[in-house]
Amino acid sequence: MATDQATDDRFEGFSSDDKLARKRLYGKLFVGICFLATISGVVALGALIADLIIESWGWLSWNFLTYPPSPSEFHYTDGRGAGIYPALVGSIFLIALTAVFTVFLGVGAAIYLEEYAADNYATRFIEANISNLAGVPSIVYGLLGLALFVRAGGLGSVLIAGALTLTLLILPIVIVSAQEAIRAVPDSQRRAAYGVGATEWEVTRDVVLPSALPGIMTGTILALARAIGETAPLIMVGAAVSVFNPPAGLFEPFAAMPMQIFEWASQPAGEFQHIAAAGSVVLLTVMLIMNLMAILIRNKYETEL
Amino acid sequence: MSTTDITADAVSDRQSRIARVVFFSCALVTVLTTFGIIAVLVTGAIPFFREVSIIEFFTSTTWSPLKEPNSFGIWPLIWGTMMIVVGSAVIALPIGVLTAIYLSEYASSRVRRILKPTLEILAGVPTIVYGFFAISFITPQIQRVFPQTGTFNAAAGAIVVAIMILPMVSSLSEDAMSAVPDHLRQAGYGLGATKLEVSTKIVVPAALSGILASFILAISRAIGETMAVTLAAGMNPNITVNALEEIQTMTAYMVKVGQGDVSVGSIGYQSLFAVGLVLFVMTLAMNIASQWIRLRYREEYD
The region of weakest confidence among A87-91, A129-133, A151-155, B159-163 is A151-155
The C-alpha atoms of residue B274 and residue B267 are separated, in whole angstroms, by 10
The region of weakest confidence among A152-156, A288-292, B95-99, B259-263 is B259-263
User: Measured between beta carbons, which residues in chain B are less than 8 angstroms from residue A129?
Assistant: 30-31, 34
Angle at the Cα of A220 from the Cα atoms of A217 and A223, rounded to 5 degrees? 150
**Is the pLDDT reported for residue B65 higher than 50?**
yes
Angle at the Cα of B6 from the Cα atoms of B3 and B8, rounded to 5 degrees? 110
Interface touch B99/A34, C-beta < 8 Å: yes
pLDDT band at A1 (very low <50, low <70, confident <90, very high): very low
pLDDT value of residue B167: 94
Q: Is B4 helix (H, G, I), strand (E, B) or coil?
A: helix
The C-alpha atoms of residue B157 and residue B250 are separated, in whole angstroms, by 13
Give B62→chain A minimum CA distance, Å: 23
Interface touch A108/B22, C-beta < 8 Å: yes
A284-293 residue pLDDT tens = 999 999 999 9
The region of weakest confidence among A235-239, B194-198, B225-229 is A235-239
- The three-state DSSP-derived secondary structure of chain A is CHHHHHHHHHHHHHHCHHHHHHHHHHHHHHHHHHHHHHHHHHHHHHHHHHHHHHHHCCCCCHHHHHCCCCCCCHHHHCCCCCCCHHHHHHHHHHHHHHHHHHHHHHHHHHHHHHHHCCCCHHHHHHHHHHHHHCCCCHHHHHHHHHHHHHHHCCCCCCHHHHHHHHHHHHHHHHHHHHHHHHHCCCHHHHHHHHHCCCCHHHHHHHHHHHHHHHHHHHHHHHHHHHHCCCCHHHHHHCCECCCCCCCCCCCCCCECHHHHHHHHHCCCCHHHHHHHHHHHHHHHHHHHHHHHHHHHHHHHHHHHC
A230 vs B: CB within 8 A: yes
Interface touch A30/B196, C-beta < 8 Å: yes
A148 vs B: CB within 8 A: yes
From chain A residues 37-66, the ones with a CB under 8 A of any chain B CB are: 37-38, 40-42, 44-45, 47-48, 51-52, 55
Q: Between A257-265 and A85-111, two packed helices, what is the crossing angle to 10 degrees? A: 130
DSSP-assigned beta bridge partners for residue A255: A240
pLDDT value of residue B225: 93
B146-155 residue pLDDT tens = 998 888 999 9
Q: Torsions phi, psi of A79, nearest 5? A: 90, -10
Domain boundaries, chain A: 2-56, 85-304
- The three-state DSSP-derived secondary structure of B226-275 is CHHHHHHHCCCCCCCCCCCCCCCCHHHHHHHHHHCCCCCCCHHHHHHHHH
Mean pLDDT of all residues belonging to chain A: 86
Interface touch B255/A139, C-beta < 8 Å: yes
Stretch A240-255: mean pLDDT, rounded?
Answer: 81
Q: Give the residue on B whose Cα is nearest the Cα of A42.
A: B119
Which residue from A137, A141, A226 is facing B251, i.e. has the nearest CB? A137
A280 vs B: CB within 8 A: yes
Residue B297 DSSP class = T
The region of weakest confidence among A159-173, B63-77, B144-158, B245-259 is B63-77
Which residue from B196, B226, B284 is facing A132, i.e. has the nearest CB? B284
What is the ipTM score, two decimals?
A: 0.90
Q: What is the CATH number of domain A85-304?
A: 1.10.3720.10
User: Measured between beta carbons, which residues in chain A are less than 8 angstroms from residue B283?
Assistant: 135-137, 140
pTM of the model: 0.89
- Residue B135 in contact with residue B234, Cβ under 8 Å? no
pLDDT value of residue B11: 74
The C-alpha atoms of residue A214 and residue A299 are separated, in whole angstroms, by 10
Stretch B207-214: mean pLDDT, rounded?
Answer: 92
Stretch B225-231: mean pLDDT, rounded?
Answer: 93
User: Measured between beta carbons, which residues in chain B are less than 8 angstroms from residue A35?
Assistant: 102, 106
Mean pLDDT of all residues belonging to chain B: 89
The C-alpha atoms of residue A218 and residue A204 are separated, in whole angstroms, by 19
User: Measured between beta carbons, which residues in chain A are less than 8 angstroms from residue B268?
Assistant: none
**Is the pLDDT reported for residue A8 higher than 50?**
no
A80-133 residue pLDDT tens = 467 888 899 999 999 999 999 999 999 999 999 998 888 889 999 999 999 899
Contacts of A273 (CB under 8 A, 6+ apart): A55, A264, A265, B132, B135, B136
User: Measured between beta carbons, which residues in chain A are less than 8 angstroms from residue B264?
Assistant: 151
pLDDT value of residue B70: 78
**Is the pLDDT reported for residue B28 higher than 80?**
yes
B228 vs A12, residue with greater confidence: B228
Which residue from A31, A139, A231 is facing B128, i.e. has the nearest CB? A231
pLDDT value of residue A3: 45
Q: Give the residue on A whose Cα is nearest the Cα of B21.
A: A112
Q: Torsions phi, psi of A266, nearest 5? A: -80, -10
Interface touch A44/B137, C-beta < 8 Å: no
Q: Is B278 helix (H, G, I), strand (E, B) or coil?
A: helix
pLDDT value of residue A79: 41
pLDDT value of residue B258: 86
- Residue A185 in contact with residue A214, Cβ under 8 Å? no
Cis before A186? omega within 30: no
**Is the pLDDT reported for residue B269 higher than 80?**
yes
Closest residue by Cα to residue B183 from B200, B198, B205, B204: B198
Give B136→chain A minimum CA distance, Å: 8
Stretch A295-302: mean pLDDT, rounded?
Answer: 83
